[in-house]
Amino acid sequence: GENVEQHPSTLSVQEGDSAVIKCTYSDSASNYFPWYKQELGKRPQLIIDIRSNVGEKKDQRIAVTLNKTAKHFSLHITETQPEDSAVYFCAACASGGSYIPTFGRGTSLIVHP
Amino acid sequence: DAEITQSPRHKITETGRQVTLACHQTWNHNNMFWYRQDLGHGLRLIHYSYGVHDTNKGEVSDGYSVSRSNTEDLPLTLESAASSQTSVYFCASRRTAEETQYFGPGTRLLVL
C-alpha cells in the first residue's frame, strides 16, 4: 500500500518568513495530493490540492509543488502570519484506490509574532 | 446548509463497554470514512463505505465495526472499549468521482 512520509514534524518560524513542508510517497499510481490544515481543536480542512498532471499550483500565499519522478511534493507558505499556526497534513491518493487518501503524520507549524 | 456532524463531541466511557459514535451528513455523499487521530500518527483509516450496505476495513479496524443502512449515516461502534482506543475520531465524506474529503468536527473519546 501507499506510504507517505512528512517532514519536519515541527516547524517554528518568525512572522513574515516562509515555511516549507515536504512529503514523499511510495505508490507511483498516486495522482492526487491534498493538503489539510487543522487548527487546534478543529477539524482538518482542505487548503490546496494538486493533481499529477501539473507541477505547481498557487493560491495567494500558499503553493504546492509536485515532482512525480522523485515522488515528492511540498507545501510552501510565504509571508507567514500567526494565524497560519496549525498542524498541516499531506496526503496521497490514487484513483485506482478509489481516492482513499493516505495521510502523512502532520507538521506542527508555529509562527511567532 | 448541507453539513457533516458527529455526536457526541466528547465521551468518557469505561473499559469493556460498547460505544457508538454517530456521523451524519446531509450532502448525499455516497462515500463515508472513519479516522482516528493520535499524536504522532496523523489520521489513520478505521472503516469506510462506498454506499448503502457497503462497508470496508481500513488500516486500524480491529475492535471497531460500522454499518450503513442509509446514505446519510455511518455509525462507528467500539464493541468492547479499550484504553488504546482513547483518541479523537473524525468522520469524513466525499462525493463519488470527486477527490476531496470533508471532515466532521470530531469526537473526543476517553476510555478509562
Nearest to A89 among B42, B45, B105 (CB): B42
Report the pLDDT averaged over residues A29-57.
93
Report the pLDDT averaged over residues A65-93.
96
Please say if the pLDDT value at position A113 is more than 70: yes
Closest residue of chain B to A4, computed from CA coordinates: B42
pLDDT for res B96:
81
Mutate to test the interface with B, among A57, A100, A108 (most CBs of B within 10 A): A100
The nearest CA of chain B is from the CA of A100 a distance in Å of 8
By percentage, how much of chain A surpasses pLDDT 90? Answer: 84
DSSP string, chain B: ---EEEE-SEEEE-TT--EEEEEEESS--SEEEEEEEETTTEEEEEEEESSTT--EE-TT-TTEEE--SSSSB--EEESS--GGG-EEEEEEEE-TT----EE---EEEEE-
pLDDT digits (tens, 9 = 90+) for B90-106: 999 998 877 889 999 99
pLDDT for res B31:
94
Residues of B in contact with A101 (CB under 8 A): 101
Please say if the pLDDT value at position A39 is more than 70: yes
Decide if B99 and A42 are in contact by the 8 Å CB cutoff: no
Q: How confident is the model at residue B2 (pLDDT cuts 50, 70, 90)?
A: low
Nearest to B43 among A9, A46, A103 (CB): A103
